[in-house]
Each structure stands twice: as structure tokens, then as C-alpha cells.
Amino acid sequence: MRYAIGSTDKMKLKKKGLALSTIATLIIVILIMVILLAFISLLYSKNLDKELVAENKCRMSAKILRTLSHSYDHEAFADSLECPTMDVVIEEKDPEEVMRGIADHMDTCLSIFFDPGQERNPPELFNDKGVVCLICHRISFSEGLGGRIIDREEFESFLKDEYPNRGSLTYYDRFAGLATGQIKMRDLVNDDDLLDTIDTSKTYATVFVYAKGYSFIEGIKNSIKKLVRKTLGFIAGAAYSMSISSEPEIAVFIMLKEYDVNELSDLADLGCYMAGKQSTKP
């Protein structure tokens, strides 16, 4: 006796096939991630350019996790990032090249997750709402600079006039973003609250901040004024992503902050969940 397969049965089989296909795809992606990260770790152990290897390892893990954003909440996303803090020493002595070195590392910190030259809106990195922060770099300067002081307005002018190698947008435009509803965090604070200079005798950190959910974005806005009084050197800007006629959904910005282990704990004022594998050496 033969039985015909009804439309309901066909639909069930189709859904089952799609589910199995999705699982198989996830398994393949995870295997590729493991293999690539293992390969990058091997390169790292061979004493190649450790900063470049660490950056590529971080970038690869972020890219893979981003493709699986529906599978991770913000804590799992942050804990899964293979992004240790990178130690950087800027050797250049020309003031413009020093500023370029700082700006390039800020841009790298952003582009690991979001390239404003390629994407109009910040990406969705995880499936719930929250704030994730990553300390990308710990930047120090060679002794040959002799504690040179860079004025904040001079640095901002450089960002507005100069272009990174990544594309046609200035540093400033890349940091400010092109998303609908963009704001500049500078609008939230008074100039008197911000540090006036970058002092090359000190160490700084580049910090990536990503907030998802209107209440968390509002929390950041309300915390900024408190945070800027505690060794905050510069907030480059923020890109907001929102649906038309709705509240903002995602905010991204890059921070250049004087590096101090105790002071960096103030990032908790932003509600930050710190990305895993962060170095905390003084």
C-alpha cells in the first residue's frame, strides 16, 4: 500500500531540513573559527609582528561571532572575543605622525567591529540588550618625545583634515559615523570637563564601547558627564542606528582614555561588560 505525503508532512520535512542545514552551517563556521584561531595563535608564537597577529586574531573572532549574533547574548559575546589588550609604543617624533599613530589605533579599534566606510549602520553584535566595552590598545610613547604635549584642539583639527589608509572618509567622519540619528558625545559635556592635552609622558587606552537598547544608550549619556571628570582624554563621536521614527537601537563610540587600572574601572559607570581576555597590568 502506498501513502501520499501531504502538504503538512512536506512542510515538516522542509522545516526539519532547514534546521539541520542551519546546525550544519553553525558547526562548519565554528570549526573554521577554531582552525583559523589556532593558526593565528601559531603565528603569534613564532614571534612575528605580534601586534598585527593579535589584531587579526581579534578581528577574525569578532567577524565570526558577528555572523552568529543571534546565538549570543552580550556577556557570551564579550567572553568569546579573542581580543587581548595590545601594547603599543609610538616611536615617531614629528607631532603630526604622533597624532596619526594615535588616530590609526583608534580607527583600528573601531574597524575590528564596524567599518563606517562600508556600513551605514553599526552592526548587531548580540541578541539581547546591554553594553560591551573592549580596551583595544595600551599606548605609550618613546622617551625621545620628551613628554611632548599635544593640544586637544590640534588633535581634533588633525582628525577633521586627515584620512586613514582605509578609505575616503576623514578620521573624524569615520569616528562620528554615518548612521541615521548620529550625535557627537562632545555635545553631552562641557569643554571644561575634558582634558585639554595628550601628554606623551603618560599612557593611554583606546576603548571600544557598544550599547544596544534605548535604556542602555540613555545610561551612557547620563554617565558621560560623570566619567569625563576622571582621566577621559577624548571621545571621538558616536554613531546611532535606529529605525525610522523610533528610539535609537545601537550606539557605538571610540574613547581615548588615560590608562590607569583603577581609573579604567570607572567604565562600569557606563554599564560596560568588559570583553574577555583583557590585560590589566599597570
Rounded CA-CA distance 257/259 in Å is: 6
Task: With respect to residue 141, please indicate whether it lies within any of the assigned structural domains.
Answer: yes
pLDDT value of residue 152: 82
Q: List helix spans (H) across 68-139.
A: 74-80, 95-111
Among residues 83, 58, 85, 95, which one has the least CA distance to residue 204? 85
31-89 per-position pLDDT tens digit: 666 666 555 555 555 545 677 888 888 998 998 888 888 888 999 999 999 998 999 99
CB 267 within 8 A of CB 254: no
Q: Roughly how many angstroms between the first and final C-alpha of the chain, as a whole number? A: 78
Task: With respect to residue 14, please indicate whether it lies within any of the assigned structural domains.
Answer: no
Q: Taking all residues of the chain, what is their mean pLDDT, rounded to a whole number?
A: 75
Task: With respect to residue 191, please indicate whether it lies within any of the assigned structural domains.
Answer: yes
Structural domain boundaries enclosing 224: 72-274
Task: With respect to residue 2, please indicate whether it lies within any of the assigned structural domains.
Answer: no
Rounded CA-CA distance 176/235 in Å is: 10
Number of domains observed in the structure of the chain: 1
- 186 or 163, higher pLDDT: 163
Cell 577621559 appears where?
Answer: 232
In this structure, what DSSP letter does residue 131 have? Answer: E
Task: With respect to residue 34, please indicate whether it lies within any of the assigned structural domains.
Answer: no
Task: With respect to residue 280, please indicate whether it lies within any of the assigned structural domains.
Answer: no
> Region 156-170: what's the mean pLDDT?
87
Task: With respect to residue 47, please indicate whether it lies within any of the assigned structural domains.
Answer: no
100-150 per-position pLDDT tens digit: 999 999 999 999 998 887 877 788 899 999 999 999 999 999 988 878 888
Task: With respect to residue 4, please indicate whether it lies within any of the assigned structural domains.
Answer: no
Q: Could you give the angle at which helices 7-45 and 50-67 cross, rounded to 10 degrees? A: 170
Among residues 276, 17, 281, 30, which one has the least CA distance to residue 134? 276
Rounded CA-CA distance 127/261 in Å is: 30
Cell 572575543 appears where?
Answer: 81
**Ramachandran class of 55: left when φ > 0, alpha when ψ lies in -120 to 50, beta otherwise:** alpha
